[in-house]
Structures are given as C-alpha cells and as structure tokens.
Structure 1
Amino acid sequence: MIGPFSIDTPFPAFAQMERELPATAGQLQLVVTVYLAAFAAMSVLHGPISDAVGRRPVMVVGLTVYAAASIACAFAPDLGWLLVGRALQGLSAGGATIVSRTVIRDLFSGATAQRLMSRVALVFGVAPAIGPIIGGLVLQLGDWPLVFVFQAGLGVVLVLAVVLLLPETHPRERRTALRVGSVVGGLLQVAREPAFHRLAWATALLFGAQFLYIGGAAIFVVDVLGEGELDFWKLFVPMIGAMMLGSWLCGRAAGRISARRLTSIGCTTSFVGGVIGILVAASPLAADLPWAVVGVSLVALGNGITYPTIQLLLLDLFPGRLGAVVSMSAFLALVLNAITAVAVTPHLGTSALGFATAAFIGVAGGQLCWAWHCAVENRDCAVAGVGEREPVELL
C-alpha cells in the first residue's frame, strides 16, 4: 500500500506548505506529479530486477531508500529540495508496491490467486483513503514535516516486516539473468504483445478515471466542494469503500464466475458511474454531498471488480516474466496518472463537471479497450475452430 499511500498523505498539509516554503497551489501540485513521474520511470525496472535477483532484496532496498527519502522531505528547506525528496520516494516505493503483486502469482494460480489478488486490491484501495485522513491527524500534532516523518516510520516498519515475515518466493532456478540485454529484452517482449496493451490500457484508463479524484483531491475537496483540511474523508471513505466492496465481490466470485464475465460486469459498472457523475455534475447537486461522490464511487466499485482479474490475465500472458509484466503495466498507468495530474487536473479540475467529464472519458476508453480485447479473442477462437468465448458485455 505504500505506493498509493504516499501520493495523497501530504494533501492536508498543502495549506501550511504554501505559506512556509513558500509556494503557490499550482507549484504544490508538483509534489504529486514529481512523485508519480519518478515512480513511473523506475517501475519498468523493479519487476525485471526482481525476476533476476529475487523478490525480497528488491523490496528491502526499495523500502530502505523510501524511509531515507521521507526524512529528506521532512527536512527540506524549500520546494526544490522537497521535490528532490519526493522524486526519491517515487523511485523507491515501487520496490514494494510492484514486486508484491508478483509474489501472489509466484505461489498461486486460478481461483486462489484471484481471491488473494482481491485482498491486495482491498489494501491498495485502503491506502489513498486513509492517507489524507492520517495526514490531517498528524497535522494536529505539529507542522507539515511530521507527515513525512510518519512516512519514514512506516517505511522502517515495512522493512522489518519483509525481513522477518516474507519468504523468498522466486527461487534461483526460475530467475533470469541480471544483464541489461536480458532486462530490456524482457520488457520489449512484453511491450510487443498486443493483448498486453489492450488489457493494460483497459485497467489504466478505468483506474485513471478514479485517480483523477485521488490526485486532484486537494482541489476537488477544498475548492470545488468547499470543505476543510480534515474533510478529505468525505471523498475517500465512500470512494475507497466502494472499491473495497468491489474487491470483496471479486474474491467471492472466484471459481464461480469466469474472469472474463466478471471483468465485463466491472467495466460496465464503472461506465455507469461515469454517466451518473456527469448527470449529477450538470445538476444543482454538483457540489452537494453525498451526491457529488456517487459517480466516482460507482467507478471505484467497478475498479474493485476488474483490477484483480485483469492483473491475473496480464500475468498469465508471460508466466516466465511476471516482474516485467507488472512493471510495464504499472509504467503505463503511472505515466497516464502523472500526465493527468499535471495537464488535466489543473485545467478541467476547476469544477465538478470538469472532473466528471474527464472521468467519463477514462471509463469509456477503458470499456472500449476491454471490448476490443474480447472481440479479438472471439475472432481468434473462431479461426482456431474452438468457438467463441462468452460474449463481452458492453452495457
């Protein structure tokens, strides 16, 4: 959870940081963008390196650097040094967030893997919900640097947890060579697979619609809804609660409903949420709670259903390159989210309708990618003479 947790924990401190660093609201948005850009840049390497040296070393080193980077953020004298620390946080956080997903597929497959990936999605969903809430509570004890001191403490706790509790799940006989050619070759092998792009972009666009509200929470909650620094829970509790419900439903459906049909249900749920979000944003209830968060909560519900299943579908494309698959899919999603944070949120995110419109574009794009993937599979099965798989459900 440390990757998404680190995105929005500082949000409640933005007002203090704006006064004390000093910095404008637009400049503080770089606190999110720089973190995401660094996370994305390094994400393509965490997985392949773990394929070569094992899962535990990558996680331990990443978390250790993360803790040190958090301390650097806490002692930053100005915005420039704070952004350096955030970049280091982003470069290191993926060592745990990305590699941990491969551990499940190292050990399990089928319905068991789906249930466990659903639990990961639950934890992944909790992180951005409690991040700003904890950040707001920490601010009651002192100034903004304490938020980053807390993150450093979390990093230390997780280092100990990995060292003491997590076994190595990637044995030596299954590892790849730690050479530049091997690492790059594995990434290129994944990147050349069309099915990978259809699935990866489906999940990236669907979650990107939700991330628009996560990355722009400081604008949406304070400027659009007119709430205070302790009121981020009014957005995150229903949104992440819905994602957790979707993840729970996905786990319960494991072995009972096929991954393909379950993903179609999730995509449709998110699409409906996007439509409802626009209808509410265009009405007099646009800035009224709880109506203002109904649409994005339905988007999150759909994400909770689709995320575990699409992750497993992606991993099953390259059983021998699990780390590379996770890294490449994470890279695409993070680049999309970073672009959204710097180019979309400041412009379209100035009103409820702007947020809702951008979110609808995301869920519609994700729905189309999934429909495209199912159509290609149906065609390939028909050509092979095995008949079509169950039809994709568009709406």
Structure 2
Amino acid sequence: MNPDAAALWRAPRWMLAALLAGLGALGPFAIDTYLPAFTGIAASVGASPAQMQQTLSAYLFGFAFMSLFHGALSDALGRRPVVLTGLVVFTIASAGCALSQTIGQLIAFRTLQGLSAGAGVVVSRAIIRDMFPPAEAQKVMSQVTLFFGIAPAIAPMVGGLLFDRLDWHAVFWFLAGVGGLLLAFHGRLLPESLHISQRQPLRLKPLLAGYAELLADPRFLALALASGVPFNGMFLYVMAAPAWLGEHLGLAPTEYFWFFVLNIAGIMAGAWWSGRLAGKLPPERQIRRGFRIMVGISLLNVAANLAFPAHASWAMLPVAIFSFGWALMVPVVTLMVLDLAPTRRGMASSLQMGVGSLSNGLVAGLVTPLVMHSTVALALGSLGLMGIGLLAWLWVRRQLPAAARR
C-alpha cells in the first residue's frame, strides 16, 4: 500500500470508484455496444457469420495477450502512464474501426482495440490495492463493480439506437468519443498511486522471474480460474446474443437491452451486497455463497430449458441471477489474487486478467459457435464453465492458510 495514500485522494471514496469503474467498463463496453449492429456490419462489408465472430475473437485475444504486460509495465513506469497510453490507443483504434471498409480492416482495428482496452481494467485493480487496506479495498472493489454495471447496461441500448437511426459506423465513432472523454477525465483527475519506492525495475530477467514465480504457484492459477471462468457462464450468453436473443427468443436488435439491463442489474446487486459484507463476513463464506447461487440457478436453467421452449418472459432471468452470484464473490477472489504478490500487484492483476481474457477468447471463438444453435446447449455450456471455476475454488481453499482466507 502507498504510504502517502491518504494525501493522494481527498474526495469521497465513491468518486474514485466511479473514476476507476470507467476504466473497467471500457473493455466490455467495446463488446456490448456493437453487438446489435452485427447483421448490418456483415451486410455492409460482405462478411460471413464466422468472420463476424472473428471480430469478437480478435478483440478478446488481443485483450488477453496485452493484459499480460499492462500490469508489469505499471509496476515499473507507474499507473498513470499506462492508463493514459491505453486510452489514447483505444480512441485511435475505435476511429479505425469506424473507417474500415473490409472485414480484414475491421478485424485488425478490433485487435488494436483489444490490445489497448485492458490497460484500464488491469491497472485499476492495482490502484485500489495501492490506495486502501484489505477491508476498505473490498468495499471500493465492490463499488467499482457497482458503477461498472451501469455502462454495459447502457451500451447495447446506445448501440441499437445508433445502428437503427444512423448506421454501424456511428457505433465505433461513439466508442472513439467515449475513449476521448475518459482520456480527458483521467488525465486531469487520476492520481499516481504507486509510490516511487515500490516501483520495480523494467528488466527482462527480473520480469520473467516474476512471471515464472506467479505461474508456478498453483494457488494463483486456481484463484484466477475461480474468478475468471465462472464469468464465462454469463459471458457465453453475451457472445451468443445475436443468435440467442434474435433467433431463439425472437427479439429485435433494439430489444436486446432487456437482457443487458437484467444482467447488469444482477451484477450491481451482487457487488452492492459484497460491499455490505466487507469486514462483516469471512471472505471464504462470501465466496461460498456466490458459488451456491451460481450452482443452484445453473441447474434450474438447464432443467427449465429441457422442460419448456425458451421464451423471453423467463429465459433471461436465470442469467441475471447467475451474474448476481458471480459479482458477490469476485471482489474477494480478486483481492486474494493481488495479495499473493504484494510487491508485484500489477503483474498479478495482469496475469489474472490474462487467464480470464484467454478463457473469454476461447469461449467466443470455440465454445459459442458450438452451443449457440440450442438453448439447452447454452444452458449446459454455462453450467460446465461455472463448474470449472467451482472445482478450482474447492481445491485452492484447502491450500490457502487460514489467515489468507480471512
């Protein structure tokens, strides 16, 4: 923790949470906003459904790859330079997407978007732990998740309206505007939270040794899986939204927002409850509650899709409840990851995000095309992904000392 943290931010804590949430929301915002325009983009550039899926995969793999380095760079150079550079590149990449004339150009600029968008997500987590002790950090992490939920809820509505009233190019011009606005706010307000005495040398040998040390720790990998893979139980439905919402549930692109509103409401409610429990309930019990909710609703979702034809009146609700369970436990697991490497929190955040983003890319590129043809297959896929995270947590909770679990 920065010894001068109290002097770095004198405004209310929720204002810093809102500032950091803007960074965290940028990554999913770049996905949710353009999903309603899928069909229009495909028709405009002559792309097949598989090629359109590649625009998602390219973004996610770019996000996963560069997420491995954002945190380590911020450990050496400071948090602010990495965040601001990422925002500059994201804004330029969004403009490039808007100007793209072919599917190849769009995939290239989407990759650049992914490479830059992760900077804010990764570094914002390290900033929280730089600034606050554990119990306070959990409250701020929960507030960030709460504010983070607002933007993705609005994103598909904005994207659907822009596509419906203008065209798909307007969606990416809008993202460029969001990037520019965040750059202006963070350039003016974001403090440098990494104390000069805590910076790590940016030399290849120590850097590789740090990565090797973390990757060799099975507790780290298990915690990263426990936080990142269950997210894909929800993310699978986001990636399959054009098929699931449009074909199976019969919704128009401008109606996709109902799913996103319910989903993000679940995330915000879970994050709010997580913040309320900080310092009152042992973290291990809080994580257990989150997994119980996800397991129960996943089994119910499979049973409902087997028993009844999927309908918009009920099919979206189980995913929202799943999101609630995930948001309840993920702030606690994230802080456990960061505290495994107190001198390399940026690197730990990078690797955690890299594991999660890699699984996101695999879900978007491999799993989603296999299961999006059937609502039953989607429900089973979501259950399976959550199960991987649950097994990882059940293993790691036996390996962590009692002090770490508290």
TM-score (normalised: structure 2): 0.91
1:53 pairs, out of 38, 61, 77, with 77
CA contact (8 A) 2:268 2:324 kept: yes
User: What's the CA shift for 1:389?
Assistant: 7.4
Q: For the residues of structure 2 that align with 1:119 and 1:215, how far apart are their CA atoms?
A: 26
Q: For the residues of structure 2 that align with 1:212 and 1:233, how far apart are their CA atoms?
A: 16
Alignment partner, residue 271 of structure 1: 295
Alignment partner, residue 261 of structure 1: 285
1:11-22 paired onto structure 2 within 5 Å: 11-22=35-46
User: What's the CA shift for 1:184?
Assistant: 2.1
1:186-201 paired onto structure 2 within 5 Å: 186-201=210-225
1:314 pairs, out of 333, 337, 352, with 337
Alignment partner, residue 394 of structure 2: 371
CA contact (8 A) 1:204 1:336 kept: yes
Q: For the residues of structure 1 that align with 2:254 and 2:241, how far apart are their CA atoms?
A: 12
Write out per-residue CA displacement over residues 347-375 of structure 1, whole angstroms, 9 at most, x where no aligned residue.
Answer: 11111111100000011221121111122
Write out per-residue CA displacement over residues 122-166 of structure 1, whole angstroms, 9 at most, x where no aligned residue.
Answer: 233334332211101222441111100000011111111111011
User: What's the CA shift for 1:70?
Assistant: 0.5
What root-mean-square deviation, in Å, do the aligned CA atoms of Structure 1 and Structure 2 show? 1.6
Alignment partner, residue 333 of structure 1: 356
Moved more, 42-51 or 122-131: 122-131
CA contact (8 A) 1:209 1:358 kept: yes
Does the alignment pair 1:169 with 2:193? yes
1:24 pairs, out of 48, 68, 73, with 48
Alignment partner, residue 292 of structure 1: 315
Alignment partner, residue 206 of structure 2: 182
Alignment partner, residue 143 of structure 2: 119
User: AA paired with 1:65?
Assistant: V
Q: For the residues of structure 2 that align with 1:57 and 1:109, how far apart are their CA atoms?
A: 24
User: What's the CA shift for 1:171?
Assistant: 1.8
TM-score (normalised: structure 1): 0.93
Alignment partner, residue 101 of structure 1: 125
Cα distance change, pair 90–389 in 1 and its aligned pair in 2 (3 A): closer
User: What's the CA shift for 1:188?
Assistant: 1.6
Write out per-residue CA displacement over residues 49-87 of structure 1, whole angstroms, 9 at most, x where no aligned residue.
Answer: 000000000011010010000010000011000011101
User: What's the CA shift for 1:234?
Assistant: 2.0
Q: SS where residue 101 of structure 2 aligns?
A: coil
User: AA paired with 1:92?
Assistant: S
Write out per-residue CA displacement over residues 64-112 of structure 1, whole angstroms, 9 at most, x where no aligned residue.
Answer: 0100000100000110000111011001111112111111000102221
User: What's the CA shift for 1:297?
Assistant: 1.6
Write out per-residue CA displacement over residues 246-290 of structure 1, whole angstroms, 9 at most, x where no aligned residue.
Answer: 000000111111111101100111111211110111122x42123
Q: SS where residue 98 of structure 1 aligns?
A: helix
2:265 pairs, out of 241, 249, 252, with 241
Q: For the residues of structure 2 that align with 1:28 and 1:82, how far apart are their CA atoms?
A: 10
User: What's the CA shift for 1:172?
Assistant: 1.5
Alignment partner, residue 385 of structure 2: 362
Q: For the residues of structure 1 that align with 2:278 and 2:364, how far apart are their CA atoms?
A: 34
Q: For the residues of structure 1 that align with 2:255 and 2:284, how far apart are their CA atoms?
A: 38
User: AA paired with 2:173?
Assistant: V
Does the alignment pair 1:136 with 2:160? yes
User: AA paired with 1:335?
Assistant: L
Alignment partner, residue 227 of structure 1: 251
User: What's the CA shift for 1:243?
Assistant: 1.2
User: AA paired with 1:320?
Assistant: T
Write out per-residue CA displacement over residues 188-210 of structure 1, whole angstroms, 9 at most, x where no aligned residue.
Answer: 22111111111111111211111
How many residues in Structure 1 have an aligned counterpart in Structure 2?
A: 382
Q: SS where residue 307 of structure 2 aligns?
A: coil
CA contact (8 A) 1:224 1:352 kept: yes
User: What's the CA shift for 1:292?
Assistant: 0.6
- Overall identity of the aligned pairs, in %: 36
User: AA paired with 1:267?
Assistant: F
CA contact (8 A) 2:284 2:405 kept: no
Q: SS where residue 29 of structure 1 aligns?
A: helix
Q: For the residues of structure 2 that align with 1:389 and 1:313, how far apart are their CA atoms?
A: 8
Alignment partner, residue 393 of structure 1: none
Q: For the residues of structure 2 that align with 1:211 and 1:58, how far apart are their CA atoms?
A: 27
Write out per-residue CA displacement over residues 170-222 of structure 1, whole angstroms, 9 at most, x where no aligned residue.
Answer: 02111000122232222222111111111111111211111111122122111
Residue segments in structure 1 that go unaligned for 5+ positions in a row = 391-395
2:239 pairs, out of 215, 231, 243, with 215
Q: For the residues of structure 1 that align with 2:183 and 2:164, how far apart are their CA atoms?
A: 27
Moved over 6 A (4+): none
Cα distance change, pair 109–324 in 1 and its aligned pair in 2 (3 A): same
User: AA paired with 1:250?
Assistant: S
